[in-house]
Amino acid sequence: MLGYTAREIDEKFRNRALGFVHPDDMDYVNREIRRQLGNGDTVTIEFRIVRSDGRPLWILGTGNVVKGPHGTSSLIVVIIDNDRIKKKNLDMEEDNRIHKKVLANLPAGIKCVRYDECFTLEYLSPGFLSLLGFGMQEVMERFDGKYLNMVYKEDRQRLMNDILDQVKLSNVVHLRYRSYSKSGNLIWLETVSRLSEPDSDGIQRCYSCVVNVTDTVTEMEKQQSAALANRYQAAVKWWGDILF
């Protein structure tokens, strides 16, 4: 495992039992051995060693204190090559860290709901929760874990009709509707959703990207209102002061 012969180990490390520990892990290993031995006679530590070729290797060491006949004590350690598993776990942790960072910083929210009559909630990204002002637990309690309950009542039937019409033609659905926020204001949301095939558990899910378009809708309403007012003003100017 280390790549040394017994003679090389004796010459290079002599009586330094932790001589082959990676320099960056040395303080941690020393502290952890003393901490665990302060609570009992067993030690389990995951750390890196340095092979003879300079390559670091993750290992898992499990040790037990053995009492000698003359009052001496020894720590007998079993070393397991844990490099492949540890590196795989580290890669997974890094992937999860990147995914969480991406989800937290996207200018859009992400959601996953079941494709059932109330769109049972399974996941709302931190960005989406921040947009609404709720925590996940608050959402589950206030809206009974159903995404449909988060949609403004007056928009629900139209939403359902739009979904049913669009899924007849494609598994991608575009929607615009209002949702409740913690502040009490209604927020206009635009979603692009993909309806997946049923998973191995038999549940069909819908994955969506959600964008806050409240400012866009408000600006459109202002423009429409201004255009309507201009038409009225033109009619008054043309027909006279009295207009029904």
Looking at the domain assignment, is residue 157 inside a domain?
A: yes
Looking at the domain assignment, is residue 222 inside a domain?
A: no
Which residue in this structure is represented by tokens 């989800």?
103
Give the whole-angstrom CA distance, residue 30 versus residue 65.
Answer: 16
Which residue in this structure is represented by tokens 């030690």?
43
The pLDDT assigned to 193 comes to 93
pTM over 0.75: no
Residues 114 and 74 in one domain: no
Structural domain boundaries, residue 148? 104-212
Looking at the domain assignment, is residue 225 inside a domain?
A: no
Give the CA distances from residue 217 to residues 48, 176, 177, 221, 225, in Å, rounded to whole numbers and listed in that order. 57, 10, 10, 6, 12
**Domain boundary pick from 56, 89, 122:** 89
- The answer to whether the beta carbons of residues 118 and 126 sit under 8 Å apart is no
**Domain boundary pick from 41, 60, 89:** 89
As for how many domains the chain has, the answer is 2
Question: What is the chain's pLDDT, residue by residue, as a tens digit (244 residues)?
Answer: 888 888 888 888 887 878 889 999 999 999 999 999 888 889 999 999 999 999 999 999 898 988 888 888 888 888 889 888 888 888 888 888 877 777 677 667 889 999 999 999 999 988 888 888 999 999 999 999 999 999 999 999 999 999 999 999 999 999 999 999 898 888 899 999 999 999 888 999 999 989 888 776 655 656 566 565 566 666 666 666 665 5
User: Residue 167: phi, psi to the nearest 5?
Assistant: -70, -15
**Domain boundary pick from 54, 89, 124:** 89
- The answer to whether the beta carbons of residues 186 and 178 sit under 8 Å apart is yes
Q: Are strands 73-81 and 56-67 parallel, antiparallel or unpaired?
A: antiparallel
| Rg (alpha carbons) of the chain, rounded to whole number | 32
Residues 162 and 189 in one domain: yes
Give the whole-angstrom CA distance, residue 80 versus residue 59.
Answer: 6
Looking at the domain assignment, is residue 19 inside a domain?
A: yes
> What CATH number has the domain bearing residue 141?
3.30.450.20
The DSSP bridge partners found for residue 80 are 60
Looking at the domain assignment, is residue 99 inside a domain?
A: no
- The answer to whether the beta carbons of residues 69 and 57 sit under 8 Å apart is no
- The answer to whether the beta carbons of residues 122 and 112 sit under 8 Å apart is yes
Residues 12 and 69 in one domain: yes
